[in-house]
Amino acid sequence: RAKSAGGNRSELADPEADARTITRHGLTTALPTALERGEFFIEYQPLVHLGDGSVRGAEALVRWLHPQHGVLGPDRFIPLAEHTGLIVPLGRWVLQESIRQARAWRECHGEETAAGPLRINVNLSPCQLSHPGLVQDTVEILERAGVTPDALCLEVTESALIGADDDLLKPLRRLAEMGVDIALDDFGTGYSNLANLRRLPVSILKLDRSFTQGMQQFPADPVDLKIVEGIVSLAHSLDLAVTVEGVETGAQAEQLRILGCDTAQGWYYARPGPPERLHELVLVDATG
Ligand code: C2E
Ligand code: MG
Ligand code: MG
Ligand code: MG
């Protein structure tokens, strides 16, 4: 299906139709060879500064171009990769590929963008977090690419850090000390323990899409407004930046800007796409 959609790589395969033909088992057994054969690819979705509209970076989102079933989204195979442990080499590949891309962007744009060099956000699974090689792998990948740690932001979900003991937080602390940003992804969906924020080495809160959805109608839901306002003010008082996910309309963007959110991501700005697309967006941005 995705292949026939005229090369639009963002068009993910229809989960319901595919559920009939693709078994979980089939995908699971195909995963290791898929990595060897280079069937995974990454799409990038821009992160835009709400104050001035400039592109500040992008989130790397992995996809699988399955030889029979077309493009599969991460929700279809990340849970399977986590279950089998393949997430560790797959996650390492995503990191390596994204950092390579970050260097290419930096070479092109350098300090040209008004906001400084572009940053890349990479998602991290709980299994990667508890894998002993995380810090060393990350350092090596950055060094080999000649990219400074401030080019990287690792996104960890709130639920992955719930009840995390110090052993689990230690690698994240090391990375944060090196200058890697850590973002708390899907914030507000779990059992958000706001007091817990203080002991986490995070510098960015990524507010979940469900909050953005509450801003869809105009005027927005007053309760949603109050909640977001409260989260933003708490975050800022703890020196955390706030990014919002799932911005689909200009009205949402405006509302979230007024509420003091710092950066935004969503279809209103751009769907996830190939690296060339981000390149074009940054160029448009630079020339006004
Ligand atoms: P996430 O990290 O919360 O990523 C945001 C998801 O929201 C992406 O879905 C993105 O395509 C989608 N999105 C962006 N803007 C909009 C919008 O305006 N409206 C709507 N409705 N959706 C929007 P995607 O690409 O399907 O990824 C799903 C999840 O898979 C991600 O959620 C992330 O948790 C996980 N994931 C993706 N790539 C990786 C990876 O390399 N490693 C790991 N461990 N997980 C990954
Ligand atoms: Mg994410
Ligand atoms: Mg997210
Ligand atoms: Mg989310």
Instruction: Please write the tens of the pLDDT for every residue from 215-238.
Output: 877 777 888 889 899 999 999 999
SS3 10: coil
pLDDT score recorded for residue 2: 38
The tens digit of pLDDT for each residue in 22-63 reads 678 889 999 999 999 999 999 999 999 999 999 999 999 999
**Ligand 1 neighbour 208 (Cβ under 6 A):** no
Residue 101 pLDDT greater than 60, yes or no: yes
Lowest mean pLDDT among 6-10, 57-61, 123-127, 136-140: 6-10
DSSP code at position 151: G
Nearest residue (by CA) to ligand 1, atom 8, is 61
**Ligand 1 neighbour 185 (Cβ under 6 A):** yes
In 3D space, the residue among 45, 60, 57 whose CA is nearest the CA of residue 90 turns out to be 60
**CB-CB contact of 206 with 59 (8 Å):** no
In order of 83, 138, 256, the CA distances from 164 in angstroms are: 20, 21, 30
Nearest residue (by CA) to ligand 1, atom 38, is 61
Mean pLDDT, residues 115-124: 85
Pocket mutation for ligand 1, best pick of 42, 78, 88 (most atoms within 8 Å of C-beta):
78
Nearest residue (by CA) to ligand 1, atom 43, is 123
Q: How far is the CA of 186 from the centre of ligand 3 (A)?
A: 5
Residue 126 pLDDT greater than 50, yes or no: yes
In order of 114, 153, 239, 254, the CA distances from 203 in angstroms are: 22, 10, 7, 23
The tens digit of pLDDT for each residue in 240-279 reads 999 999 999 999 999 999 999 999 999 999 999 999 988 7
Return the residue matching tokens 């809160």: 205
Q: How far out from the chain centre does Cα 130 lie? A: 19
Residue 112 pLDDT greater than 80, yes or no: no
